[in-house]
Amino acid sequence: MKTERAYKYRFYPTPEQAALLARTFGCV
């Protein structure tokens, strides 16, 4: 279950993280 949780967070990051990632990759 711990592994599933980790994957969930990786595939479904928080809106803040998603925005940060998009910014880092330049995919505004």
pTM for this entry:
0.37
Which long-range contacts (C-beta less than 8 Å, at least 24 apart) are formed by 15-19? none
Residue 7 has pLDDT above 60, yes or no: no
Which two three-digit tokens encode residue 15?
Answer: 């809106």
What pLDDT score was predicted for residue 9?
56
List pLDDT tens digits, range 9-25.
555 667 777 788 778 87
- The answer to whether the beta carbons of residues 25 and 18 sit under 8 Å apart is no
4 has pLDDT over 70: no
Cα 9 off chain centre by: 6
Interatomic CA distance for residues 11 and 6, integer angstroms: 9
Instruction: Give domain limits for the chain.
Output: 1-28
